Each structure stands twice: as structure tokens, then as C-alpha cells.
A and B are shown apart, each in its own frame.
Chain A
């Protein structure tokens, strides 16, 4: 990386905020998906949208790839600098700019941690609903990029349902405001489109987030089972009874063991094959009756134990085991491959044993902890990263599981995003035409393709396996011919 570029970047953000020492680059070589690694060439820490605009112009002027990174907790390699290039580490943009209770919203910079938004407004009776398991670390910018979900997605939707407005920096350094505090937007829903674009449209510099009122009452309980099938059937029965719990989560035996052996021990019954965590929230009136109904459904499916959290501490403990399950699995094996496929929820009882059989067939241990209520699976394949042969078996199992879920009418990712990891699975669910349309949409925001390249879209096979961007011509509204790059 040339000295002139480093000098120019330092002029923009200040001497201290450009990192170029190769040793320092290893901190940024991967995100939460550690299977793929590539250090960037440079890391720059901007503080304002204006600085980001200048950095983008500088990078594009030199055809250098760039991407924004928050806490690096993503699980699909979305923040992986595939081509090296520049990482904009957003840590300095971490302020809550405004709390506007009358309009039930907050305005934040992108590197505010998810949980800190809720902490700031809890005293006023509100919270920010999206709650990815990484919420103690992951940032709003990353949540927006990935359209993050979490256990409470079942009732409250994903991040996109809670974002009202965005300030973004696009290709060419354009600073654009999308949406705003008014809930009606004119024309196309650009905010809805931008959320979940995995950092490939541009860089978020500010977000207006919708706040939700804290539920009057929360009831959390645990049900243990001697088979995954019975737990899965309970999930189907609860949904079938017309009840929408706030969350409906499942952990299997291996996960339970890992959690109970760790510092996050939540008191899950060790001898259970599966545990369901069910949470109801909302009005106190009527909740008891719904809870009894759910307990009856658990019993009907031969639950071996049902335990209701009697205090906030007990509730938090039950949840800590769930939210820290990924961390706890570190005890089982050094490498962890978190899968994220989605299936129609009614096929849970049928597919769960098949997934476990696929992993077993490849001699890979699998620990399941997932959002059962909406059919979003997380089979965690455990492996030793030092053993290339094991990695190959893991990748083979992942592909087979993916195919199983897609054939059942599902999707390849429910909340972690496609990123770098799953881009070659995209043709499993999207035709070349579908991908072509997505490519055209991307080209509107990111015509140079330099903003977070080689994500989402499958490795190009149409242009001699080269992966080199190719050009397409379009007519603009005023009749001019315009060339865009496709990747």
C-alpha cells in the first residue's frame, strides 16, 4: 500500500486513526466466521460522514476495495476483506445522538452497541426490539447490514421492522439521507431495501431506530424432553394453537451439556435430549391462561420437566444459557461452524433427525441451538481447524444440510446473511434471472463494485470463471447511455 495513500488518509482522519502495520492487520482478518481469513491492507477509523465520503472517493479513485466493520461479530464473513483493501473500522462513531420519546425513536451512530440502545431508553419504558445473541457486542451498523434477528424475531420481526431512517455514504462519496421519523415514505422504500444489503450498497453513518414499549409482563419457562421430536412437535402445536410467543427456542443435548459445563450454566436438566425455552410477553391480563395452555401442550408431548422463571434473575439465567451457547461450545471443539438454514416450521419434527444423521454420516458432532418458532435452525458443526480433512467433511455436511432445507422449501440463511460464506449456495434458491435483478439493484448503489466486493453473489462462471467484473449498458431516464459494472 503506497505511502501517498496513507498520507492522504491521515489527512482525512488524523495521524492516529490509520493503521498500516501488517501485524495489526491480523486483528481484522476475519469476523465471527473464522474459517475464512484475509487481512486488509489498511484500516482507517473515521469519525464523521464527511470523512467517510472522502475516504470512499479516495479508495474509488484508486480502484481499492473498501468495507465498513463494526464489532466483527458477523457469522457469514460479511466483514471479510476478500481482496485486501481498506477496512473502515467504525468504532469512533458510537454516540447516541438523540432520544425522542414523543416520536418513539432514537438516532444513533452506527457503532453504538445493540444492547446500549435499550439500556439508554429502558428508564423511559422503552427498548429496541431486535436482540441478536451477540447484542452485548454487535453494533447497530452491523445489525442493519445483516438485518439481524434474534430470539424475539418470532413476535417482533427483524431489524428492518425497526429502522425508520438512515444516513448513508454511497459510491462517489455521495451522502444521502433515506427515510426519516415520519412513518410514511413517498415512492420506493429505500430504507427497507438498504437494511440487509450486507454492506454492499454503502456505509451507514446514522440510523433512526423505532422504539417499542416494554411489555407489561413477561413469562419465561423451560420444558425438557427426552426426544428432539417431542420438543419439535410441541413447537408445532403451540403455533397451531394460535399462540404467538415472544420467543420459542430449542437447545439439544450436546448444547445443554456444553452450557451446563461452562460459566453460563443455566440449570438446564443435563439428562434431557432437548430443552425448549418459551417466553410470553405483553399484557398481564390473559397471560396466565395462555401459559397454562402452553404447559398443557408441553405435557401432551411428554415433557419430562416444566419450570417457570419466578424472578427476573431466574429469567435472565435461563436466557444467558441460550444466548451464550455459542461461547459455551468452545469447550467442545476449537472450531465451530454455525449454520443458519430456515425450514417451514411444521417440518421441524421430520427434518431435525435427518440433519443430525447427515452430520453423523460425516463423522462430525453437531450441537443444535435455534429459533424453533420460526424454523430458523442453527446446527453447530464442531471441528478441529488444524485438520484440513475434518474441515472438508464439515463443508460437505454443511452443503448437504443446506440442500435438505432448501428441498423442504426453506432458505439458506435466516439471519446471519449470505456474506462470503454462502454466496455459492445462492443458486440453490435463486435463478440466474433473480440474481441478475439483484445485481442491477446493487449497481444503483454501488456502481463500481468496490464497496464490499465478492459478497452475496455466487462466484461468476459466466465470464470464463474469472470473477472479473463485466460491463452492461443501460439507458437512463433522460435517454443517455450508461455503463455499469456487474460482478
Chain B
């Protein structure tokens, strides 16, 4: 639960229509007041520390399902609808948006898309971005525009959905999003295996990745992370299977033969627990490297970070908790040398003031991003400073 707003704002506004939102943005634009768009506020702690914003724009009134066409496998919902409630609706027709973002019970569709927020299922289904087929939004100068459309395949004009997904509300405020859907898998199951060290985990993952198996997610828990989730204190690999019933059974048996300490995960709630962010630690880092570098990065992290580490070895991502600032810089340097990145996903504000939360390392990319922002939010009133 998000009890308090982790950023400072002067006023909170809750527009009830696109017209109200547009008026609000135009007025703010005229007075150069800054805006923070938000849904349920689950990810307001992400991004750089900014001393104060003028307006928090809560999009929770935009919670309608605009169109749902089960036969076309498409749905259009307003940005403030809760992600989990949309999934519940889709489930009635055996469909879903194939994604498992954190804070999924609270988070809104707009927030999930604006942050391109995802979980381990990204390995099997791609980022949330890939499910988005259309959007409507209000830009920083009050222009209302749409991107994409409502059909599953569409290359008319630039695919600006790709630009807006993950833009953290810095280019426009999302009001409506269209998704392409998938049928829910017939069967799902999570199996687990235990190992003596991370390199052994990585070996097992490499073998799976070169096999005909089609797991949809891979999660590794360090011994301490496994323990705190009620499992045996050992390096643990969770493999999520989602297929036909026969397909799941066949993969389970293949893994049983390959993996040491093979076991069936005790129910789906373990999987849920692995998805949620661990908020006992004040600082959460997200490091991402090409998959091949995982073991090397993990070795660096083991030296420095707190002991509970969760990684998604299929996509090359590691979540860890850092004790102090110099370590962050050191780890970031290591990740960057490996062709990756390291961002501080969560940290106390005082901490954030002394560190670049994102750690952009490609100056040319950053310059293009800044120019894009200047063109779509010419007065820099949308979330200024959160991203850059």
C-alpha cells in the first residue's frame, strides 16, 4: 500500500474528462507550473529527487473500459483503470495482457505503461510496450493526440506508442490505451531447483535457453532471498511454464531430469511473492546487462550488495539492495563496462540528491531524448527532472 506521496507537491488535481485535463495542462503551461501525472502513485518513488512540483495530476477518474472486443483480442481502457481489474475483466473471456508488473493490485494501466513496468514474464512475452497498439494523450502544450490505432497490426505513421511507453509521463499524460491481448495459457506451473552457487544457476539457465523448452519466466533467488520467502536457504531457480497441459507436463519432466534439487513450487502465491518488490530495504538497485555477463555482474554484487538478491536471468536483470553510495557508483561502472546499466529504483530522498538515479551513459541518446522532450513539452512542465 502506498500511504503517502513520496514527492512534494503544492496541489492535487483530479480531472474528470479529457477536456478538463487539457484545460488544466493549458493553464499550467501558461503559468509555467509543473505537473506530475500519476495513477495510484505506486511508482512515484522512482526517478530523480525533485524539490517540489506544483500539481499532482491524479488520473484515477479515468477508469472506464472504453471498448473490449474479445473476438478481435483487443481492449481499450482509460489510463486510470487498475491493471488488475482490467486483467480480471479479460479473464472472463480467457484472455489477458501478458505482463506481471510490480504493485499489480494497485497499479493503474497508465502507470504500468508510462513506466514500461514489467516483471519476469517479460522474458516470455516481451515488455508491456509490445502489447500496446494505441494511445491517447495530452502533451505538455495541451495538444491532444493519438498514436497507433485499435488493430493488432499497424504501421501507419511513426509508432509513437513505443516512444511513450516508458517515458514516465515526461512527454504527455496518457488518457487511454489500447492493447492487443493473448489467450490465457491453458496450464501454468512453476518448478524450482536449488544450486550451490550462482554460476551453477547460470549454467542451468544457459542449458534451458539452448533447449526446445519454452519457459515464460526465469527467476533466481539468492539463498537469503529464498529463505525470506519461506524456502530452503539455497540459490533457487524458479521456472515458470505456461502452455497446453501436455506442454507443461513435458517441460516439467524434462526439467526434473536436468535440474538438481528439483521440486514443484508450493502454489502460485510463491510466484506472486517473487513479483512484489521487497520494501524492507531502503535502497533497491536494478542492474541490467547482456545475459552472458550475468555471472560476472553477480560476482561483483555478491561482494558489495546486501545479501538478498533477486535476478531474472532470462533478461539479464538483477535486483539488489545497496548499503551505501560509493558502492552504487562502483557497481554501475561494472554494469556499464559489460554493456549494461544500473538504475536506483528506490532510495530515500536524501540519498537520491547525491546520486544520478538513472545513470545514463550514452550522451548521444540522451541528447535526442532531451530534444524529443523539448518538442512535445516545450515549456518543460511535465515531470521535469524526474527522468533528466
Let me know if B71 and A285 touch, CB within 8 A.
Answer: no
Question: Can you name 26 A-B residue pairings with CB atoms under 8 Å?
Answer: A103-B292, A104-B209, A178-B365, A183-B315, A188-B163, A189-B116, A213-B214, A240-B71, A242-B184, A244-B183, A282-B214, A283-B212, A285-B247, A285-B249, A289-B246, A342-B154, A344-B72, A412-B156, A413-B155, A415-B153, A426-B157, A434-B146, A434-B147, A440-B375, A474-B378, A477-B380
Q: B337 in the interface, Cβ–Cβ < 8 Å?
A: no
Let me know if B250 and A283 touch, CB within 8 A.
Answer: yes
Q: B289 in the interface, Cβ–Cβ < 8 Å?
A: yes
Residues in A neighbouring B289, C-beta threshold 8 A: 182
> Quick one: which of A67-124 are within 8 Å of B by CB?
100-104
CB of B247 to closest CB in A, whole Å? 4
A196 to B162, CA, bound (A): 11
Let me know if B69 and A193 touch, CB within 8 A.
Answer: no
CB of A424 to closest CB in B, whole Å? 12
Let me know if B158 and A184 touch, CB within 8 A.
Answer: no
Let me know if B291 and A192 touch, CB within 8 A.
Answer: no
Closest B residue to A200 using CB positions: B158
A344 to B72, CA, bound (A): 6
Closest B residue to A164 using CB positions: B290
Residues in B neighbouring A430, C-beta threshold 8 A: 146, 156-157
A477 to B72, CA, bound (A): 43
Let me know if A346 and B72 touch, CB within 8 A.
Answer: yes
Point out residues on B near A: beta carbons under 8 Å. Answer: 69-74, 94-95, 116, 122, 126, 129-130, 139, 143-147, 149-160, 162-163, 165-167, 171, 182-184, 186, 206, 209-214, 243-247, 249-251, 286, 288-292, 315-317, 339-341, 343, 358-360, 362, 364-366, 368-376, 378-380, 387-388
Closest B residue to A165 using CB positions: B339
Q: A188-B167, A240-B71 are in contact. List 6 more A-B contacts (CB 8 A).
A: A184-B286, A184-B317, A346-B72, A426-B157, A436-B145, A476-B371
> Quick one: which of A323-346 are within 8 Å of B by CB?
342-346
A-side interface residues, number (CB < 8 Å) = 94
A466 to B116, CA, bound (A): 41
A102 to B291, CA, bound (A): 7
Closest A residue to B151 using CB positions: A342
Let me know if A343 and B151 touch, CB within 8 A.
Answer: yes
Which among A192, A196, A433 is the interface contact of B144 at CB below 8 angstroms? A433
Residues in A neighbouring B373, C-beta threshold 8 A: 477
Residue-wise interface mask of A (170-192) relative to B, using a CB-CB cutoff of 8 A (1 in contact, 0 not): 00001011101111111111101
Residues in B neighbouring A286, C-beta threshold 8 A: 186, 243-247, 250
Which among A177, A195, A442, A456 is the interface contact of B364 at CB below 8 angstroms? A177
Contact stretch, chosen from A5-13, A146-154, A355-363 = A146-154
A417 to B154, CA, bound (A): 9
CB of A155 to closest CB in B, whole Å? 10
CB of A348 to closest CB in B, whole Å? 10
A104 to B94, CA, bound (A): 32
A445 to B367, CA, bound (A): 11
Contact stretch, chosen from A38-46, A297-305, A312-320, A369-377 = A369-377
Q: A263 in the interface, Cβ–Cβ < 8 Å?
A: no
A487 to B375, CA, bound (A): 15
CB of A104 to closest CB in B, whole Å? 7
Residue-wise interface mask of A (280-293) relative to B, using a CB-CB cutoff of 8 A (1 in contact, 0 not): 00111111011000
Which among A174, A215, A456 is the interface contact of B157 at CB below 8 angstroms? A456
Let me know if A181 and B163 touch, CB within 8 A.
Answer: no
Let me know if A441 and B72 touch, CB within 8 A.
Answer: no
Residues in B neighbouring A157, C-beta threshold 8 A: 126, 130
Let me know if B288 and A437 touch, CB within 8 A.
Answer: no
Known: A193-B160, A475-B379. A376 touches B153 (CB 8 A): yes
CB of B352 to closest CB in A, whole Å? 16
> Which of A101, A192, A418 has most chain B Cβ within 10 Å?
A192
CB of A195 to closest CB in B, whole Å? 8
Let me know if A290 and B244 touch, CB within 8 A.
Answer: yes
Let me know if A474 and B292 touch, CB within 8 A.
Answer: no
Residues in B neighbouring A484, C-beta threshold 8 A: 375
Residues in A neighbouring B162, C-beta threshold 8 A: 160, 189, 192-193, 195
Which among A100, A184, A197, A476 is the interface contact of B374 at CB below 8 angstroms? A476
Let me know if B152 and A193 touch, CB within 8 A.
Answer: no
A430 to B145, CA, bound (A): 9
Q: A416 in the interface, Cβ–Cβ < 8 Å?
A: yes
> Quick one: which of A369-425 are within 8 Å of B by CB?
371, 374-376, 409-418, 422
Residues in A neighbouring B147, C-beta threshold 8 A: 434, 437
Residues in A neighbouring B182, C-beta threshold 8 A: 244
Let me know if B315 and A411 touch, CB within 8 A.
Answer: no
A157 to B292, CA, bound (A): 25
Q: A239 in the interface, Cβ–Cβ < 8 Å?
A: yes
Residues in A neighbouring B247, C-beta threshold 8 A: 282-283, 285-286
Which among B146, B153, B157, B184 is the interface contact of A149 at CB below 8 angstroms? B153
Let me know if B153 and A374 touch, CB within 8 A.
Answer: yes
Let me know if A283 and B160 touch, CB within 8 A.
Answer: no
Q: A243 in the interface, Cβ–Cβ < 8 Å?
A: yes
Let me know if B126 and A182 touch, CB within 8 A.
Answer: no
A182 to B359, CA, bound (A): 15
Q: A296 in the interface, Cβ–Cβ < 8 Å?
A: no
Closest A residue to B341 using CB positions: A186
Residues in A neighbouring B167, C-beta threshold 8 A: 187-188
Residues in B neighbouring A242, C-beta threshold 8 A: 94-95, 183-184, 186
Residues in B neighbouring A240, C-beta threshold 8 A: 70-71
Let me know if A193 and B214 touch, CB within 8 A.
Answer: no
A243 to B249, CA, bound (A): 19
CB of B271 to closest CB in A, whole Å? 21
> Which of A186, A409, A413, A416 has most chain B Cβ within 10 Å?
A186
CB of A123 to closest CB in B, whole Å? 13
Residues in A neighbouring B380, C-beta threshold 8 A: 477
A456 to B159, CA, bound (A): 12
Closest A residue to B158 using CB positions: A438
Closest B residue to A126 using CB positions: B210
> Which of A160, A183, A376, A475 has most chain B Cβ within 10 Å?
A183
Residues in B neighbouring A285, C-beta threshold 8 A: 243-244, 246-247, 249-251
Closest B residue to A411 using CB positions: B154
Let me know if B378 and A433 touch, CB within 8 A.
Answer: no
Let me know if A477 and B374 touch, CB within 8 A.
Answer: yes
